[in-house]
Structure 1
């Protein structure tokens, strides 16, 4: 073989090596998956404060005022959704904010419940803050009705097996701290009318139940000024 042929072979071999391909990392992924988006963290609420009367709103009419809702910034969060429920009507409204505050127009002299959902771009995961309740200040109101009671046990939609009695328990709160008593209603009607009696406690033990029934119950809370509030209707099933 002539030296010219040998030279051409060497040149071609070098060309193949340069163009084809040795790789510094032959096992690397040519199209790696992007890093997962971290889940957002739950925020903590600041204002309106829990179980309080909101007195700092800007009055916009005889029936409405505007209140600045505030919460702490949370990690891995791009936007927030404020969930606000009117406790008189149970209607819920939602408001989105890219910062840790938002102005919302409210009915005056009305109880509300609110919490904030943290959201992040690129993931469907969310995180919820605790829920807080407050009264929006009303014109000329000297004493506020209690907040509607909240069921603790049985939890809403609970299924209870092999029992013949149940302990009912709930929480009550009032801006004026003057709750006097509670009246509990329970039966198998979707709007219960059978009173189990009046108590100053936040529980009612050993309520008789029987298998095969769905039970509905509610709590009426009364204060020293004759104001009252009625809770949502809670339900549980006994199998």
Structure 2
């Protein structure tokens, strides 16, 4: 018999890779920028707290220009000077890129002021302490007291149900001659009922749940000068 020679053909398989491994077109991942640090509190320098400001430039009989100063605070780009006339409660705001600002004021008038530190790229701010001063006036030998500040309750406070509240306040005078306080207390927005006059900076008052109360303090000094505080309010919850 004739032998058949069988030829076995083994196919050759060629594996080809696709181009997916090329990372040259990938978008690089950019890390987010670091957060902007919050500004820190500025320290007030001048005008000094509870003092008479005598270092202004006199413009006329009624006005003088005062150079407000404070220490630079960290992480701060700009400062906002907030100033309030304590006789009229009118406020102004001045923006400064440095740690000083010249502001024209009425003479012989009490003011309070504070500085807010701000930084670009963040809404966070920092507020300094609040200082008070009297801007020197012509021929004034004794100044009226500063308007009293509420200590308790704070303005707009909501208190738990009670029948008695001890009102407390702080008074100040650059001449240090406060002699008495008169307390006005009422359920109307402009209180007219006098609860008494005396040297103490506190007084117990009778209240009712569910009622809003308004109070004001008149401060007197030994020379007969006086000042009226803002009208404070609080509510007793039911």
Q: So what's the TM-score if we normalise by structure 2? A: 0.89
1:113 aligns to what? 112
Aligned alpha-carbon RMSD (Å): 2.0
Per-residue deviation at 1:124?
0.7
Question: Superposition pairs for residues 5-84 of structure 1, below 5 Å?
Answer: 20-21=22-23, 30-84=29-83
2:180 aligns to what? 181
Q: Helix, strand or coil: the match of 1:34?
A: coil
Q: Which runs of 5+ in 1 are unaligned?
A: 1-5
Per-residue deviation at 1:161?
1.8
Q: Does 1:98 align with 2:97?
A: yes
2:202 aligns to what? 203
Q: Helix, strand or coil: the match of 1:21?
A: coil
Bigger Cα Rg: 2
The separation in 1 between residues aligned to 2:174 and 2:190, in whole angstroms, is 27
2:236 aligns to what? 238
Per-residue deviation at 1:184?
0.4
1:223 aligns to what? 221
Q: Helix, strand or coil: the match of 1:189?
A: coil
Higher helix share: 1
The separation in 2 between residues aligned to 1:149 and 1:162, in whole angstroms, is 26
The separation in 2 between residues aligned to 1:190 and 1:52, in whole angstroms, is 32
Structure 1 runs (4+) deviating above 6 angstroms are: none
The separation in 2 between residues aligned to 1:104 and 1:169, in whole angstroms, is 33
Per-residue deviation at 1:21?
2.7
Q: So what's the TM-score if we normalise by structure 1? A: 0.89
